[in-house]
Amino acid sequence: LLGQEEVQAAGEAILSGWVTQGPRVAQFEKEFAKFVGAQHAVAVSSCTAGLHLALKGAGVGEGDDVLVPSYSFIATANSILYCRARPIFVDISSDGFNLDPSLLEVAWTPKTKAILVVHQVGMPCDLKSILKFAARKGVKVVEDAACAIGSEVNLGACWEKIGKPHGHSACFSFHPRKVLTTGDGGMITTNDTQLDQRLRLWRHHGMSVSDVARHRNQEIIFEDYTDVGYNYRMTDIQGAIGSVQLTRLSGILKERRSLARLYEQLLADVDGLLVPHEPSWARTNWQTFLVSLTDDRVDQRAVMQQLRDAGISTRRGIMCAHREPAYRDVAWGCSGPNGCDCGRSHCAQLLFSERAQQRSIALPLFPGMSREDVHYVVKTLCKTVSTIQTEVTK
């Protein structure tokens, strides 16, 4: 949801003459940290870049293992490989799209350095159980909160925003498919002041003095490069857009919730379909309304094609990293005994992940969507599923 305010903010950044990471990024970071309740927020070029730095900041390096769901956008697992560590894939639970904490113990290896959890499509994962397990084992939790801006959890005392953070750090995405966008971009939040400083260094080539500080200082300063860093900066044009987007966020969330409620009401008890549900301790931002087909004979692609033919755009749910060609030769692990002897694109230990990949469909949900459109989607979806079901039963 972008409008004239974003155009004006981007224009002002351009005309200010300062277009790379500078004061507008700093302002956006401040506002973002306040919104999620974190002590620090570090803007980066993408969530993927953020995950790479967050894992590095958690001490993940060559030879380490990281427990992670396979059922996630490919960038989640990729970020572990960037650190030359090994992803140990943990299955999701049977009744949702998030990691099943009861499998962490069997997936655990002596080399496990961190747990990378995902708040998939905005739905908070079971942080309480995961944090308890991580504390017992003495490892850090990094949250892939790419989709979860505005989502909330209640860990016992009160509702808190995802990104507070509850683990060591949390990483957000501002890709246009997300609830808040800066075109592309990301944010890492943390309460660890030392980590905050290292992240700032790493995202900017390991440079000891920021561009802004050098520019503003009356005396000449020479910078050092104290660590091998990266160019993971966000531009000030993006930062300016992000600040405007934040002011829209509560309205966007309200509208998404209202559309999701309508979907929930209309799709409750429909034969052949399961709708997502919020556990009592979670509030999603409804970034994506992901329904599941319950009858294996009803082909996901056929349903999507028929909806497409009726003018309704859907997306398949999420991929499983272990099934992608890029992971064919990657030495990933799973919760099977002594690793896993399953085929590379099928793993018996990741049954619910593979099932979710094959069965889930993301329905249209966006600010400005009319209630009539929701009714039309539901009517067409129900008719499509029931027609296919009848055909395959014949």
- Single out the segment in contact with ligand PLP by CB under 6 A; choices: 14-22, 71-79, 226-234, 238-246: 71-79
Tokens of residue 151, six digits? 């989502």
Q: How far is the CB of 72 from ligand PLP (least distance, A)?
A: 5
Site string for ligand PLP, 123-162 (x = CB under 6 A): ---------------------x-xx---------------
Q: How many chain residues touch ligand PLP (CB under 6 A)?
A: 14
Q: 3-state SS string over 335-386?
A: CCCCCCCCCCCCCHHHHHHHHHHHHEEEECCCCCCCHHHHHHHHHHHHHHHH
317 binds ligand PLP (CB under 6 A): no
118 binds ligand PLP (CB under 6 A): yes
Q: Evaluate whether 278 touches 284 at the Cβ level (below 8 Å).
A: yes
Q: How far is the CB of 50 from ligand PLP (least distance, A)?
A: 8
- Identified binder of ligand PLP from the candidate list 186, 239, 276, 333, rule CB under 6 A: 186
Q: How far is the CB of 175 from ligand PLP (least distance, A)?
A: 4
CA dist 289 and 313 (Å) reads: 13
Q: How far is the CB of 335 from ligand PLP (least distance, A)?
A: 20
Q: Evaluate whether 85 touches 52 at the Cβ level (below 8 Å).
A: no
Give whichever of 48 and 384 is closer to ligand PLP, judged by the CB atom: 48
CA dist 199 and 215 (Å) reads: 21
Give whichever of 82 and 376 is closer to ligand PLP, judged by the CB atom: 82
47 binds ligand PLP (CB under 6 A): yes
Q: How far is the CB of 159 from ligand PLP (least distance, A)?
A: 22
Q: Which of 182, 179, 222 is nearest to 44 (CA)?
A: 182
Angle between helices 371-393 and 300-309 (to 10 degrees): 130
Q: Evaluate whether 313 touches 148 at the Cβ level (below 8 Å).
A: no
- Single out the segment in contact with ligand PLP by CB under 6 A; choices: 19-27, 43-51, 122-130, 320-328: 43-51
115 binds ligand PLP (CB under 6 A): no
DSSP per residue over 3-47, as a string?
A: -HHHHHHHHHHHHHT--SSSHHHHHHHHHHHHHHT-SEEEEES-H
- Identified binder of ligand PLP from the candidate list 55, 64, 68, 72, rule CB under 6 A: 72
Give whichever of 199 and 298 is closer to ligand PLP, judged by the CB atom: 199
First and final C-alpha spacing in the chain:
45
Residues 166-185 that bind ligand PLP (CB under 6 A): 173, 175
Q: 244 Cβ partners below 8 Å, 6+ apart?
A: 5, 6, 9
Q: How far is the CB of 384 from ligand PLP (least distance, A)?
A: 26
- Single out the segment in contact with ligand PLP by CB under 6 A; choices: 40-48, 152-160, 247-255, 272-280: 40-48
- Identified binder of ligand PLP from the candidate list 25, 36, 48, 320, rule CB under 6 A: 48
Q: How far is the CB of 75 from ligand PLP (least distance, A)?
A: 4
Give whichever of 35 and 73 is closer to ligand PLP, judged by the CB atom: 73
CA dist 209 and 196 (Å) reads: 15
CA dist 348 and 70 (Å) reads: 13
Q: Which of 353, 307, 279, 354 is nearest to 129 (CA)?
A: 279
Give whichever of 50 and 333 is closer to ligand PLP, judged by the CB atom: 50
Give whichever of 241 and 273 is closer to ligand PLP, judged by the CB atom: 241
Q: How far is CA 216 from CA 20, 23, 92, 233, 238, in A?
A: 15, 11, 50, 19, 22
- Single out the segment in contact with ligand PLP by CB under 6 A; choices: 30-38, 69-77, 235-243, 296-304: 69-77
98 binds ligand PLP (CB under 6 A): no
Longest dimension (CA), the chain: 83
Q: How far is the CB of 180 from ligand PLP (least distance, A)?
A: 11
90 binds ligand PLP (CB under 6 A): no
Chain residues in the site for ligand PLP (CB under 6 A): 46-48, 72-73, 75-76, 118, 144, 146-147, 173, 175, 186
